[in-house]
Homo-oligomer: A and B are copies of this chain.
Amino acid sequence: MAAMNSKRRRRRNTAQTSQPPGFQLPRQQLVNPYPPMTLLSDDQIESIHQASLTILSEIGIDFLLPEARDMLKKAGAITETDSERVRFDPDMVEQSIGLAPTVIDMHARNPQHSFKLGANYLSFGNVSSAPNASDIIKGRRTGNQQDFRDFLKLTQYYNIINFSGGYPVEPADVHPSIRHLQCTRDFIQYTDKVFHAYSLGAQRNRDVIEMTRIARGLSQAQFDSETSLMTVINSSSPLRFDKVMLEGIIEMSSRNQLVILTPFTLSGAMAPVTLAGAVAQQNAEALAGLVFTQLVKPGAPFMYGGFTSNVDMRSGSPAFGTPEFMKTAIVGGQLARRYGLPYRSSNVSTANSVDAQAAYESVFSLWGAVMGGCNLVKHAAGWMEGGLCASFEKFVIDIDLLQMVAEFLKPFEVNEDELALDAIREAGPGGHFFGTAHTQARYRDAFYAPIISDWRNFESWQEAGSPQAVDKANKVYRQVLEDYQPPPLDEAIKEELDEFVDKRIAEGGVKTDF
């Protein structure tokens, strides 16, 4: 009762002011209760699968790391002298399918932030890897540590965000040789959620793996039994895996950490101009990555990533949140499920400002991802300009979109209480429901209360200065930064972490050879 009163007070307070930082949903493991949409028949999916096998056996993939080629050759793949090309017998590919887990437990240092990937679980990550940051007051600037940390605060604050999918913005003011050390320490100190390690050379992966182990307070053996870290491995489409990406797979898969294999197959540029061809190529690259991870460690957690979109054929610019993106997102999900693999998609936009375009491209992306049965949405909050900018206002607007998706996925209940025949009797023809007991008992929490949407009538809105959605988002994000509280971190762990980072920084980090 006390808890209920306290909850009521909190909600009423939010309701009264409708001010930043606004309502947020409780922490939850989101589940999509609906069967995924399918655009293709099983036969059509099989045709794409077969086309991918043909690509892998006839054309092959370039693996730029000699060690990887050696491993693949020993396992039966066909390699050539003086060539990076690797070809795969269809049997070798088929044998890799079914080894990786269909559901992955992702362990955060705060167990309340652990989550599941796969089946009908759905999770959201923050914007990642943008070289620029922006807000409407200070404008657009090169990424820096302050912005990086501010985005981590938002990531930590919002329950709907499950993980940091990478550096929200690249902190250009932190030297690349030690950036992974500084940034990972920030991940651990500013958040207690799951985070991401960039695969930029084996040593960086090893450093971040060790820091993650320290943060979780686990022995090496325990760490290897609990997936706590993720990396995105992009193939350099078409049909190529760079050295650092293959090193990343070796370091991460051997330690049982998550590899999200995401081909960067932009239809018309790095992939065929026809969507089926682009997806067949995406699928071939994903399967090649699957083979390699399962060779490194059978059963290593692997996620099928779909990022196929189209380019503007006039300018070559990539386009996102397009009808083509939605379609390939849904077909990608069908393929991932064909292989029993968890599936990753994204919330993307090419817009240069937080306008109508930014919003419709994002909702179209979410439509494709959610209806396609995606398990992990990367860049779910804050991604702009096709990935070149992380926007603080878009972050907050996206939070509202994600929360609305979560509400949409909440089962539609039908029972005596919900059917409310007594309330309909009480109101009767021509009556009003606000005064009924049924309404009075439920009105506070009946509907989703959006952070951003302005439902005032035009006159009240105009009197308030005609605020746009982006203006409200600006206020909200600044309020969240003020309200933010760092998560507790065990003092012993903090010391061990600092000791590790200080030592590695003193050693010069990792030579910046890229």
CB contacts (< 8 Å) of A356 on chain B: these are: 354-356, 358-359, 397, 452, 468-470, 473
In the complex, the answer to whether B15 meets A314 with C-beta atoms within 8 Å is yes
A-B contact pairs, 5 of them (CB 8 A): A270-B433, A280-B420, A280-B424, A360-B401, A388-B458
Q: Is A429 an interface residue (CB 8 A)?
A: yes
A452-474 Cβ-contact flags toward B at 8 Å (1 or 0): 11111110011000101110010
Q: Is A489 an interface residue (CB 8 A)?
A: no
In the complex, the answer to whether A355 meets B468 with C-beta atoms within 8 Å is yes
In-complex Cβ contact of A434 among B268, B319, B331, B407 (8 A): B268
Q: Is A239 an interface residue (CB 8 A)?
A: yes
6 shortest A-B CB distances, which residue pairs? A277-B420, A323-B407, A272-B420, A363-B363, A359-B359, A276-B418
* Chain A: interface size category: 35 or more
Q: Is A294 an interface residue (CB 8 A)?
A: no
In the complex, the answer to whether A315 meets B469 with C-beta atoms within 8 Å is no
Q: Is A238 an interface residue (CB 8 A)?
A: yes
In the complex, the answer to whether B414 meets A48 with C-beta atoms within 8 Å is yes
Stretch at the interface among A37-45, A107-115, A162-170: A37-45
CB contacts (< 8 Å) of A47 on chain B: these are: 414, 419
Alpha-carbon distance A469/B356, docked complex (angstroms): 6
In the complex, the answer to whether A273 meets B238 with C-beta atoms within 8 Å is no
A11-27 Cβ-contact flags toward B at 8 Å (1 or 0): 00001101000000000
Alpha-carbon distance A363/B62, docked complex (angstroms): 41
Q: Is A251 an interface residue (CB 8 A)?
A: no
CB contacts (< 8 Å) of A453 on chain B: these are: 319, 322, 350-351, 357, 361
> How many Å from the CB of A454 to the closest CB on chain B?
6
In the complex, the answer to whether A313 meets B351 with C-beta atoms within 8 Å is no
> How many Å from the CB of A186 to the closest CB on chain B?
26
Alpha-carbon distance A498/B84, docked complex (angstroms): 79
Alpha-carbon distance A319/B18, docked complex (angstroms): 15
Stretch at the interface among A98-106, A206-214, A254-262, A439-447: A439-447
> How many Å from the CB of A354 to the closest CB on chain B?
6
In the complex, the answer to whether A389 meets B457 with C-beta atoms within 8 Å is no
Q: Is A274 an interface residue (CB 8 A)?
A: yes
In-complex Cβ contact of A275 among B39, B44, B271, B418 (8 A): B418
In the complex, the answer to whether B236 meets A274 with C-beta atoms within 8 Å is no
In the complex, the answer to whether B408 meets A323 with C-beta atoms within 8 Å is yes
In the complex, the answer to whether A430 meets B238 with C-beta atoms within 8 Å is yes
Q: A364-B404, A385-B457, A412-B331 in contact; A357/B313 too (CB < 8 A)? A: no
Alpha-carbon distance A267/B419, docked complex (angstroms): 12
Given contacts A34-B39, A59-B424, A276-B420, 6 further A-B contacts (CB under 8 A): A34-B38, A62-B429, A313-B447, A323-B407, A355-B468, A363-B367
Q: A276-B415, A359-B360 in contact; A455/B55 too (CB < 8 A)? A: no
Q: From A361, which residue of chain B is reached at the shortest CB distance?
A: B453
The copy count of this chain in the complex is: 2
Q: Is A51 an interface residue (CB 8 A)?
A: yes
Alpha-carbon distance A404/B236, docked complex (angstroms): 29
CB contacts (< 8 Å) of A438 on chain B: these are: 272-274, 277
In the complex, the answer to whether B59 meets A425 with C-beta atoms within 8 Å is yes
In the complex, the answer to whether A40 meets B414 with C-beta atoms within 8 Å is yes
CB contacts (< 8 Å) of A44 on chain B: these are: 412, 414
CB contacts (< 8 Å) of A84 on chain B: these are: 429
In-complex Cβ contact of A446 among B132, B313, B444 (8 A): B313
Q: Is A228 an interface residue (CB 8 A)?
A: no
CB contacts (< 8 Å) of A447 on chain B: these are: 267-268, 310, 312-313, 319, 322, 324
Q: Is A362 an interface residue (CB 8 A)?
A: yes
CB contacts (< 8 Å) of A429 on chain B: these are: 59-62, 84-85, 238-240
Q: From A323, which residue of chain B is reached at the shortest CB distance?
A: B407
Contacts of A269-320 to chain B: CB distance below 8 A: 269-277, 280-281, 310, 312-319
Alpha-carbon distance A353/B450, docked complex (angstroms): 17
CB contacts (< 8 Å) of A48 on chain B: these are: 414, 419
Q: A367-B367, A412-B327, A414-B48 in contact; A273/B433 too (CB < 8 A)? A: yes
In the complex, the answer to whether B408 meets A458 with C-beta atoms within 8 Å is no
CB contacts (< 8 Å) of A312 on chain B: these are: 447, 455
In the complex, the answer to whether B360 meets A432 with C-beta atoms within 8 Å is no
Alpha-carbon distance A44/B411, docked complex (angstroms): 12
CB contacts (< 8 Å) of A331 on chain B: these are: 412
Q: From A311, which residue of chain B is reached at the shortest CB distance?
A: B447
